[in-house]
Chain A
């Protein structure tokens, strides 16, 4: 395809504004997908995406479109996720494009990730096409929202295309606008080929599949390739495009998006952000890669069954190919044995990773409560970073502890200003500013400790505002705070996986809540089990799980034995999932108790 007839673009938006549905219509209009194969949000192909109705992974797909000018265009579309935790996916997708379609829900207006994703696109000098969606809905206010786009984003309201991705109305205008306004890719076709790996996944037959955007030159099958950062040399199994399923092609040329099936079985050799070139007289300079996503939230992942440790390591390695934001390193815990400290972009990301490991790799995982990364300044002057409360050194050696603070932006209708203020203050947040977006909606800015944010902040914000608020956040700074480690002792043994770092003023309150939570979570044992929360040597709270006295089934005659045996077998299976702390059986939920400290009960 002639380079001037190629268009590479992403669809970006706030969560649920209709990106994937718009992609459906584009795929349909261009005949990329037959009516028979069509289903709602067809690009959300992962089981988890379909179940939750949300896009987790960006997906690239090639379409062919014959425009009103009579010419045929190759359109490489990337549908992106809208959730704030996956903004790293968006930024990588945008680097493979010359333009972006910004979708705004015409019943909602501009939300936090509308702005956040737009800024990423602008930073990369992309051409932006604004689209307001869902105009079929009675509550739609397309003209108002188009005006809002002009006022807040500086795009001309007259250029905003008003569509319904559901009914398909005006969607063809979007394709025409892409052809007319998004520039074709540039890139010397005669230069030695170079392509940037922007995503990947593992295929048991074809090895690592690298998703690439070709910057220069032309890749052909049967050419030995080299990865410039890892140095790996490989004979590709095939080159191809997504349409949307993998489809082999005979060449991938500058400006095109596609995949290279590398055949590599060792996943370490092929990383997102690496540059692919040919092995013989290839390119000299690698393409600029990606800024590493900085994990915000850390948790211990342990196999429920200790024997699955190797499988978990293998699974994390493979999953990382498909989730470039995922980081992990081995960790050991007295309570939970061998596992990994895993870093995530947010709690939703953590949730998704755990589910993917369990479903795609058939593992059963115990996750500890999430923590943030603290900087600890030692008396010696040395600064260490810890992501697990258990790693906090002896307080007598500590000069100060710093914790990460975030700046956050909340978009909400003005009637919720009061409740939002209250919520943020409760979480140790500081008010910065408020501005009106229009007559009824405000943009509130705060600073807040990340540690407070990762514990149910988002859920509470959603429930106090009945779902009308949206949130964006960025790392702000590390601040020195009065922080202490709250230890938990079960039957007098400290449990490393239950320790948490808290503000000194809240240690007492949190200790009490934690103990009473655990008391309800830990089943009664054959002996009384004291549960204590302590700061240093000082016990701040204590409760006892009373010894179990009676569990026997009253009746067991001839007919009952089989049923009773089955019941006990089932109970015993359930017990296998309990973790032994000393001689106390602790259920997995106990390790997440910290997350529910603020529940009213």
Chain B
């Protein structure tokens, strides 16, 4: 169990926020086509905004950071399709980060890439400007599924992207896969995962397909054009994959994430450990200084807001912040449980909980934990740790709901 001995920091209504370095998230809300299951904040045919957007990101970074030069350990470009941004526009942003934040020497810099959007030169430049982790949206090895998703790439492009990235010097590459797809058989899923393993990633994220409101996929299922995903079959797929990945030398560290030893995504760990992060760019969410921020959704509005000359705002707000909400102790506790329990190995440390909230986990959630333990969904591997059981990993909603107040 890794210890996280953070010194108590500022106090907001009973919460001792950890004095932790920051994670920086940049949202890139542009895509060439919209995938049929996607409900993210992203826009097609707005690529012309990219140069102005990249500039605005630099400006926002400086505005939020101020002169404090806070330490930061990870930078993550998520989307959308971050690989639509040319490295020459990313480089000045990374320079600005290095200037206004105290970046760790081993800073993890991830960029999400869609296969087919990156060529050899792109990847070489990207690596050269300091990006050291690539997350590639593979999703499936079956042309039919990729077509159903409207992904606009085949499995060959995935293999090619990874090969080129390796050649460019990327030593930390992740692949995303989707399972629990309508009409997908266990056999098809096995082929997808075997193909992914053959491509040779260092990290894998596997997401069961969720039907999000307003997506074509959701409509097709609702109207009966597609069968609803079968959750029992998805459970079989999950269990099979977990076992297969263990054999391939991957460790599961989060409900949907597996990595080779030592290569868990440090940026995402920050979220699950409820450590502070800044959300920059249109639609980004942040959590720092005890406050949750949400930025305006549309990139054009975002650019406009950032270009205005605002009065200095209290950290971590920027001119483009749409809502800023203080998170009180009660909410922070719920979130700590919901996020922390997703970390299937480390779970939530009782000592950390006590240090942050000044109360014992058992005192706050005794009845809930007793019930969850009785149902075999949660376990206590050590005296300082609660975490999900293998069964609890699949019944996460049931577990998290226990901590929600009515």
A18-26, A51-59, A551-559: which lies at the interface: A551-559
Cα A554 to Cα B208 in complex, Å, equals: 6
Most buried by B among A551, A554, A573: A554
A36-44, A75-83, A563-571: which lies at the interface: A563-571
Cβ of B362 < 8 Å from any Cβ of A? no
Cβ of A426 < 8 Å from any Cβ of B? no
Cα A557 to Cα B274 in complex, Å, equals: 10
Q: Is A549 a contact of B397 with CB atoms below 8 Å?
A: no
Q: Is B256 a contact of A551 with CB atoms below 8 Å?
A: no
Cα A575 to Cα B402 in complex, Å, equals: 12
A558: which B residues are within 8 A, CB to CB? 25, 271, 277, 279, 285-287
B271: which A residues are within 8 A, CB to CB? 556-558, 561
The residue of chain A having its C-beta at the shortest distance from the C-beta of B206 within the complex is A554
* Per-residue contact bits, chain B 68-109, to A (CB 8 Å; 1 contact, 0 not): 000000000010000000000000000000000000000000
Cβ of B129 < 8 Å from any Cβ of A? no
A572: which B residues are within 8 A, CB to CB? 401, 404, 406
B168: which A residues are within 8 A, CB to CB? none
Q: Is A559 a contact of B401 with CB atoms below 8 Å?
A: no
Cα A556 to Cα B254 in complex, Å, equals: 10
Most buried by B among A562, A564, A572: A562
Cβ of A596 < 8 Å from any Cβ of B? no
Cβ of B268 < 8 Å from any Cβ of A? yes
Cβ of A383 < 8 Å from any Cβ of B? no
Q: How far is the CB of B171 from chain A (nearest CB, A)?
A: 23
* Per-residue contact bits, chain B 283-294, to A (CB 8 Å; 1 contact, 0 not): 111110000101
Q: Is A565 a contact of B279 with CB atoms below 8 Å?
A: no
Interface size class of B (residues with CB under 8 A): 35 or more
Cα A598 to Cα B387 in complex, Å, equals: 48
Q: Is B395 a contact of A552 with CB atoms below 8 Å?
A: yes
The residue of chain B having its C-beta at the shortest distance from the C-beta of A567 within the complex is B397
Cβ of B35 < 8 Å from any Cβ of A? no
Q: How far is the CB of B275 from chain A (nearest CB, A)?
A: 10
Cβ of A474 < 8 Å from any Cβ of B? no
The residue of chain A having its C-beta at the shortest distance from the C-beta of B286 within the complex is A558
Cβ of B357 < 8 Å from any Cβ of A? no
Q: A557 is contacted by which of B234, B268, B338 (Cβ under 8 Å)?
A: B268
B256: which A residues are within 8 A, CB to CB? 554-555
Cβ of B231 < 8 Å from any Cβ of A? yes
Contacting B at CB under 8 A, from A119-146, are none
A555/B394 contact (C-beta < 8 A), A565-B338, A571-B401, A572-B406 known: no
The residue of chain A having its C-beta at the shortest distance from the C-beta of B395 within the complex is A551
Cβ of B232 < 8 Å from any Cβ of A? yes
B398: which A residues are within 8 A, CB to CB? 526, 548, 551
Cα A562 to Cα B291 in complex, Å, equals: 12
Q: Is A552 a contact of B397 with CB atoms below 8 Å?
A: yes
A550/B394 contact (C-beta < 8 A), A557-B271, A565-B334, A571-B401 known: yes
Q: Is B404 a contact of A553 with CB atoms below 8 Å?
A: no
Number of interface residues of A (CB under 8 A): 25
A571: which B residues are within 8 A, CB to CB? 397, 401
B255: which A residues are within 8 A, CB to CB? 552, 554, 556
Cβ of A576 < 8 Å from any Cβ of B? yes
Q: How far is the CB of B368 from chain A (nearest CB, A)?
A: 12
A569/B406 contact (C-beta < 8 A), A551-B231, A558-B271, A558-B286 known: yes
Q: Is A549 a contact of B279 with CB atoms below 8 Å?
A: no
Most buried by B among A552, A554, A564: A552
Contacting B at CB under 8 A, from A515-563, are 526, 546, 548-559, 561-562
Q: Is A568 a contact of B397 with CB atoms below 8 Å?
A: yes
Cβ of B235 < 8 Å from any Cβ of A? yes
B375: which A residues are within 8 A, CB to CB? 526
Q: How far is the CB of A551 from chain B (nearest CB, A)?
A: 4
Q: A550 is contacted by which of B208, B279, B335, B400 (Cβ under 8 Å)?
A: B208
A552: which B residues are within 8 A, CB to CB? 208, 255, 393-397
Q: A526 is contacted by which of B277, B395, B396 (Cβ under 8 Å)?
A: B395
A556: which B residues are within 8 A, CB to CB? 255, 271-272, 338-339, 342
Q: Is B285 a contact of A550 with CB atoms below 8 Å?
A: no
A568: which B residues are within 8 A, CB to CB? 397, 400-401, 404
Cβ of B207 < 8 Å from any Cβ of A? yes
Q: How far is the CB of B386 from chain A (nearest CB, A)?
A: 17
A569: which B residues are within 8 A, CB to CB? 404, 406
The residue of chain A having its C-beta at the shortest distance from the C-beta of B272 within the complex is A556
The residue of chain B having its C-beta at the shortest distance from the C-beta of A560 within the complex is B285
B285: which A residues are within 8 A, CB to CB? 558-559, 561-562
Cβ of B238 < 8 Å from any Cβ of A? yes
Q: How far is the CB of A167 from chain B (nearest CB, A)?
A: 44
B284: which A residues are within 8 A, CB to CB? 559
B209: which A residues are within 8 A, CB to CB? 554
Contacting A at CB under 8 A, from B351-406, are 375, 377, 393-398, 400-401, 404, 406
A564: which B residues are within 8 A, CB to CB? 338, 400
Cβ of B152 < 8 Å from any Cβ of A? no
Contacting A at CB under 8 A, from B273-326, are 277, 279, 283-287, 292, 294
Interface residues of A (CB under 8 A from B): 526, 546, 548-559, 561-562, 564-565, 568-569, 571-573, 575-576
Interface residues of B (CB under 8 A from A): 25, 78, 206-210, 231-232, 234-235, 238, 255-256, 268, 271-272, 277, 279, 283-287, 292, 294, 334-335, 338-339, 342, 375, 377, 393-398, 400-401, 404, 406
24 contacts between A and B (CB under 8 A): A526-B395, A548-B398, A549-B394, A550-B231, A550-B234, A551-B397, A552-B208, A552-B395, A552-B397, A553-B397, A554-B206, A554-B209, A556-B338, A556-B339, A558-B271, A559-B279, A559-B294, A562-B292, A562-B294, A564-B338, A565-B335, A568-B400, A572-B406, A576-B406
